[in-house]
Amino acid sequence: MKKKNDEFELLNNLPEAARDPEISQDDFKLVTTDKTIHEQKFQTKPTTFFKDCLRRFRKNKSSVVAACILGVLLLLAIVIPAVSPYDVSADASNTGFEYLEPKLFNAGTGFWDGTRQYKDYSVDVSANPNATTEEEKQKDWWPNETFVRNAISKKKFSDEQYTDSVTDFGKDGFVRHSMLKTIRDTDEYAELRTQEITDLLDLNTMSVTLTKFDTYDLDKVNLLPNEKAQPIESDYSLAEVGFHLVSIDLDGDKEVKTYYEIVAPKVVHSIGSEIASLKEDAVDVKTALENAGITRKDFSRYYFAATIKNNKEHKNESSLIRSLTFDVTGNDELKAKLCDYKDGEKVNNGCSFTDATASGREPYYLDEAKTKLNYAYLISEKASRQMYMSKAYFVSFTYDTYEAKLGTKSMKRIAYSDLRAWSKAVKSKSNPWGVKLLRFNIETEYVGGKYVVNEATFDCKILDERCPLAKDLTIDDIYVYPSGPTDSNPYGIDISGYVTMYKYYGYETMPKFLLGTDKNGKDMLKYVFDGLRWSLFLGIISSAVCFIFGLIWGAICGYFGGNVDLIMERFTDILSGIPWIVVMTLVIIHLGSTFFSFALALCLTGWIGTAATTRTQFYRFRGREYVLASRTLGASDARLIAKHILPNAMGTIITSAVLMIPSVIFSEATISYLGLGFKNLSSLGVILSNNQPELKQYPYLLIFPAVIIALLMISFNLFGNGLRDAVNPSLKGEDE
């Protein structure tokens, strides 16, 4: 019987020993029987080189993300400087907006809300010494006019504690006067001394008395009531301290110092009674000199000093001094330099001190009249000076920088022209809304021999909430000058009142600066992206020029080779041997810090890397079969370069070209950071350079431009890697 066409008797033709019981005849069937075999239809669609590049680029997810980031940064660099109203030009100075913190949310949210956190700031609670409750202690606790009271919130006071730092309102404590290890053997003493005095000291007609010279033994400090001693570093040893009058005389052209001992070196142990021996028996300088057998009574150049004798063993020795006080009679000039005293409203700042923290301060002024607080000032010579166990109160608080700068303030002088502008419905710098904000009238008249405000015609009423005045003016807010109207002040008046500053600057609501402002009040958001725009523009222009020139140079070197390559490469070697920063500096010095000079300096040597990459790629591909075949068929050199070699080498070349842009930006930032940046334009490097001193106190001024530069560098690198794979012709048509 004839078998069917689809049967295949493989098993029946096998010997018995070769048959497998698990395999049956049904496992074997012919796939095609009595059927015509045709070619399968090609399922893929034709594509272009660009589409194929885009498809391969999309496979690299990190490159796609980097491209999106670059696109967003480029868009922001174009849009934000165009729409933002703030002035960030090179000479801009927006007074009133300095150092505003970054703000997105309302104050009090604790994050990105325009506030600063201050911790352990010393305060004075002595304004209310009888306080018993926390509320009473905190009353009038803030005498420092640096801070605005209504901008402070979330205050947290500490108990009285000890500190080794000089604080504005510290009390008592010790001056730790320490001899340096570097003191020379020829130096006799380390000194805590007054400044040199040239007022004649004649002990026959005047007297200088050391009324208090209070030193302490470290072991005895622990015995002081309610005080907890802190250990001095182990590399210091306690030293005895003396007191000298030091005369400076001339021996020819040489200055000679003579030390006259007033108090012998010692460490005082009478702790409980606050050095009763000196308190009861003050040391008179004249008497001390006579007791030492010294007959000299007059001095023309001299100073007084608490001294530590040099042991010449180069050890760090310290003395603890609680107080040092003078009394002078018979010479008012010398008294003013040595003594602390109050004469009516005047507080004299002498060189004596009654608590340790006073010796560490510069003079501090209470008000505009320069009334000085009683802060003494002494200097150290051949020694260091630190605080030890000063008592102070500290407070931590939140400070709203916007409320402090742009909130309601008491202005001592409001311009009359501003008041007039607010009272007219005309657009001006003081009234940008063109709305009548204020009903206002002030007239002066001459009555009883002086100028006064005419109460009958005086009128001030706020008509619109956008008016910068926080409350209506009263006659008490108007000061009339006795001289009356003058050419410089045609109304003869001075006006003070409460003004809401953000309205004064033309804002209806409190502005928000997302990235804060710098020392000139420039909006960092616009400033950074304006700098990014110029940095990108410089990078793209310079990279394009370097890419084109480097491509041509490298193509000629790599294609022709031989003597042509040898000569051109030697020129490249010479040029590349010059450091780019030297080239940059020379160009800037001769042509100035302009955009053109920066671009020229970057282009002078920036093309060398592209030329080297192109040359290498041309050497690689110029001997390939398809190039030889094209040359055999009569293709010209230009066609071989442009049509056959360059497209195959383009992947690596484009990658180097893309990476050239962030390299240019980084180079510009580096040279700007060194102080050679643009003088009339902003860039990321210029911003970083200008804000470099603010890193510790206002770190956001450097963080944001630094983040932008970091994003540029990372994104361009990832984008370049993806672009290299996408434009590589050898990968055309590859699937995943």
**Residues 139-186 pLDDT 10s:** 555 545 678 878 888 888 777 777 877 777 777 778 888 888 788 888
Between CA 566 and CA 556 the distance in angstroms is: 11
Between CA 702 and CA 658 the distance in angstroms is: 26
Hey, what are 292's tokens?
A: 């030492």
* pLDDT higher than threshold 80 for residue 50: no
pLDDT average, residue stretch 305-334: 84
- φ, ψ for residue 384 (rounded to 5)? -105, 165
Compute the mean pLDDT over every residue in the chain, rounded to the nearest whole number: 80
The bridge status of strand 316-329 relative to strand 236-238 is: parallel
- At 273, the pLDDT band (50, 70, 90 cuts) reads very low
Report whether 605 contacts 580 (CB < 8 A): yes
Report whether 174 contacts 267 (CB < 8 A): no
Residue 305, pLDDT score: 92
Between CA 620 and CA 649 the distance in angstroms is: 9
Position with higher pLDDT, 704 vs 133: 704
Position with higher pLDDT, 81 vs 585: 81
What ranges do the domains of the chain cover?
174-333, 409-501, 529-695
CATH of domain 529-695: 1.10.3720.10
Residue 10, pLDDT score: 56
Residue 247, pLDDT score: 94
Give the number of residues written for the chain. Answer: 736
Residue 73, pLDDT score: 92
Q: Which residues contact 141 (CB under 8 A, 6 or more apart)?
A: 123, 124, 125, 127, 157, 395
pLDDT average, residue stretch 466-478: 89
Hey, what are 68's tokens?
A: 């999106």
- What is the CA 138 to chain-centroid distance, rounded? 32
pLDDT average, residue stretch 212-222: 65
* pLDDT higher than threshold 70 for residue 136: no
Residue 440, pLDDT score: 86
Report whether 208 contacts 191 (CB < 8 A): no
pLDDT average, residue stretch 206-223: 72
Closest CA to 501 of 74, 148, 246: 148
- At 32, the pLDDT band (50, 70, 90 cuts) reads low
* pLDDT higher than threshold 60 for residue 417: yes
Hey, what are 53's tokens?
A: 């590049």
- At 240, the pLDDT band (50, 70, 90 cuts) reads confident
Residue 16, pLDDT score: 67
Residue 220, pLDDT score: 54
- The fraction of the chain above a pLDDT of 70, given in percent, is 81
* pLDDT higher than threshold 50 for residue 272: no
Report whether 328 contacts 208 (CB < 8 A): yes
Position with higher pLDDT, 45 vs 246: 246
Report whether 683 contacts 677 (CB < 8 A): yes
* pLDDT higher than threshold 60 for residue 657: yes
**Vertex 672, ends 669 and 675: CA angle to 5°?**
155
Q: What is the DSSP letter of 463?
A: -
- At 1, the pLDDT band (50, 70, 90 cuts) reads very low
Residue 270, pLDDT score: 39
* pLDDT higher than threshold 60 for residue 456: yes
pLDDT average, residue stretch 298-307: 92
* pLDDT higher than threshold 80 for residue 581: no
DSSP calls for 154-215: EEEEPPSEEESS--TT-BS-EEEEEE-TT--TT--EEEEEPPPB-S-EETTT-EEEEEEEEE
Range name among 278-282, 705-709, 710-714 with the lowest pLDDT average = 278-282
Alpha helices of 95-140 — where are they, by DSSP H? 134-137
> Across 267-378, where does the E strand assignment appear?
283-284, 298-299, 302-309, 316-329, 342-343, 346-347
* pLDDT higher than threshold 60 for residue 736: no
- At 79, the pLDDT band (50, 70, 90 cuts) reads very high
The owner of tokens 């020993």 is 17
pLDDT average, residue stretch 490-518: 88
Between CA 119 and CA 520 the distance in angstroms is: 26
In tens, the pLDDT along 382-398 reads: 888 888 778 888 888 88
Between CA 44 and CA 733 the distance in angstroms is: 10
Range name among 9-13, 368-372, 546-550 with the lowest pLDDT average = 368-372
* pLDDT higher than threshold 60 for residue 129: no
- At 524, the pLDDT band (50, 70, 90 cuts) reads very high
Q: What is the pTM of this model?
A: 0.69
- Beta bridge partners of residue 383, listed in sequence order: 179
Work out whether the CA dihedral 193, 199, 203, 207 comes out positive or negative: negative
Report whether 722 contacts 60 (CB < 8 A): yes
- Beta bridge partners of residue 716, listed in sequence order: none
Hey, what are 657's tokens?
A: 């070209």
Residue 380, pLDDT score: 85
pLDDT average, residue stretch 22-43: 63
